[in-house]
Chain A
Amino acid sequence: MRSILISDPSLRDGNHAVQHSLTVKQVAAYCDAVDAAGVPIVEVGHGNGIGASSLQLGESSATDGDLLKTAREHLPHSKLGVHMIPGFATIEKDLKPAIEAGVDVVRVAAHCTEADITERHIGYAREKGRTVYGVLMMSHMASKEMLAEEAQKMESYGAEGFIFMDSSGHYLPEDVTERVKTLRSALSVPVGFHAHNNLGMAIANSVAAADAGAEMLDGTARGFGAGAGNAQLEVLIAVLERLGYKTGIDLYKVLDAADLAEKELMKVVPTISSVSVVSGLSGVFSGFLKPVVRAAQQFKVDPRDIFFELGRRKIVAGQEDIIIEVASDLSKKLTGAR
């Protein structure tokens, strides 16, 4: 029976779904539940990772320090993880205090073609004795060969595992299979996959990843995450169990944790809205869903048009300000047409 290492970013990716408003009380409650369930890694922080709270990306209700301190206190068994994107997060200001707060796992992320920016951050976390994974986001925007080359850079910098993210929920299972196979042959470290559910394929894609040899999968309670959400953790555990994979997670307790998460963390359970489908089809970051909807309302344009235009411009996470520009342009065109 093959093992799959499960990482739960509900308290990080889920923050996208609630405008980064998760409180220390919510973090404490959920950490208690997933720690009891035996979830190996629990990721905590702003939706875009530590250090990302800002006017542009959305301000967190609680500081990184408070969230991490609380999570650490309520995760006696599970490892505490953070996501960090160099540029949003710096070593001195963000990573160093996070490590001092007791973070065990650092996932250093970059856009799929920009692994170069992660060298110092990966090196620093390794130097501090933390487990370090390299993460490439919006991976559908790179060919599988280019993805492998970028992943190799992260491995050479010292990453002990590599995770590729389907940030816009764009993949179909065969896309995931071929990428995992390519990555496994290119890397000597384990490969992981982080799904989004825009086209309803998050669980199927995660299973495809595992079947192709991925050893790490991400899942969030009720799929609590950006846009249409992620692979639903409790479903993922059940499916993996049925397929004969070992996760070490107690099914009943993770089901309880998901029930708690629905009640305590979410304003609404993520669903695949019409706009999410468009986000997945256009290959635009799932986390853009709420700002796109807001911009569409503000400028009185169709959010689906915004998504397709963002996709045409190949906009990536961190370029949220372009959403307003696109909505404004579309609005002007509509006004001009009238």
Chain B
Amino acid sequence: MSLQAIRDVRADCQTALAGQDSELAPLMGDTILVTGGTGFVGTWLAETLACLNDDFGFKLKVALLSRSVDRFKVVYPHLGNRPDFRLIRADVRNIYDLPSETNWLVHAASTPDSRFHSTNPVETMTVIADGTVAVIRGLDRCSNFKKFLQISSGLVNGAQPLNLERMPEVFAGSSAFGTVSSAYVEAKRFAETYCAAARSQQRLPIVTARPFAFIGPYQSLETPWAINNFIRDALLGNDIRVLGDGQTVRSYMYGSDMAVWLLKILTSGTPGASYNVGNPEGITLERVARLISERFIPNPGVRLHTSESNANQRSILVPDVTLAMKTLRVSITTPLEPAIDKTIRWNRACSGLPKTAE
């Protein structure tokens, strides 16, 4: 990762943290553990926590727990070799002893990659379900523990109706269950319910975040998500290919905003509450493709693959984030267009290097 790319990400973190540092003060001097600490969410949290230490004097001790810490140290040495960071190599399902000094915990272990879900549905479920059980059990040793942030998914609410512009946390839509394709969502639902049970029975301070869709550095352009693939197509000089008629609606939040929102939920969220995390501004995939195309010279073509079945399969997934914005005073500091610019710039800077955190 180039020095410029590191500086760019740091600048993004500073922008997202502006005006928020005082509200994150409860973290000062504490130890925070992040499971899934080398994934997209974990890496952005690491960048933001490093920024809090370097630029705001938080004196945090950070522990990143992951199965892939060796690779992380090699690919991102500016994070992996920090003296205030500790990397713990472990499978979250087999955790028995969390660092006893842990005060705050963000449980982000699981992959949102749908390729992995369909190929390895059992591991998908056990990492989420067994991992959540193991981490909560491991809290027994943490005598000065303050709060647990469960990273769930915006998909747990079920399918968003096409006529619902934004999906609030309380929405309960229908979704398939008992199938391979429901493995990820059902495991996330189990994890949320297990957390609710643990909060009630063991009086654990657990709060839940439901992430939607994101864009930014540390996200692999190989993952089969629309915006990633559009950027990859354009970077490779290919036409941008849109499955379907392009009228499916999504929204994308930049990584640095996501990290700050998660930390605000951790420090200020009400135990027992769930908060949507994402960009509330929906956009059609055709428009996303055209925004990306406009950023390249010559402009890559945008090819729509209209078919009857795809037209029937239009969908919308956009969060209502009123709860987070009003009660936690968070905002979008990097809207979609600059987020796309930053993502393209980062991927260009990291060309030839692994582009993804794992």
Contact = CB atoms under 8 A, between A and B. Distances in A.
Interface of A: 2, 116, 119, 123, 126-129, 131, 149, 152-153, 155-158, 160, 184, 186-191, 213, 215
A149 B313 CA distance: 18
Interface of B: 114-115, 117-119, 179-181, 222, 224, 229, 232-233, 236, 238-239, 241, 243-244, 305, 307-310, 313
A119 B113 CA distance: 13
A156 B241 contact: no
A131 B115 CA distance: 18
Given A2-B308, A190-B307, A213-B309, 5 more contacts: A149-B179, A156-B224, A160-B305, A188-B310, A215-B307
A157 B309 contact: no
B233 A123 contact: no
A190 B238 contact: no
9 contacts: A127-B236, A149-B118, A152-B118, A156-B117, A160-B241, A188-B309, A189-B309, A190-B309, A191-B309
Contacts of A126: 224, 229
A213 B312 CA distance: 12
Given A127-B222, A149-B180, A156 B309 contact: no
Given A129-B233, A156-B115, A184 B222 contact: no
A156 B114 contact: yes
A206 to B, nearest CB: 17
B235 to A, nearest CB: 10
B114 to A, nearest CB: 4
Contacts of B229: 126, 158
A129 B241 contact: yes
A129 B238 contact: yes
A188 B242 CA distance: 13
A119 B115 contact: yes
6 closest cross-chain pairs (CB), A and B: A129-B238, A188-B313, A153-B118, A156-B118, A156-B114, A158-B224
Nearest to B243: A160
B236 A188 contact: no
B199 to A, nearest CB: 33
A82 B14 CA distance: 50
Nearest to B116: A156
B184 to A, nearest CB: 11
A211 to B, nearest CB: 13
Contacts of B222: 123, 127
Contacts of A213: 308-309
Given A116-B119, A157-B115, A188-B244, A129 B309 contact: no
A130 to B, nearest CB: 9
Given A127-B222, A127-B236, A129-B241, A184 B114 contact: no
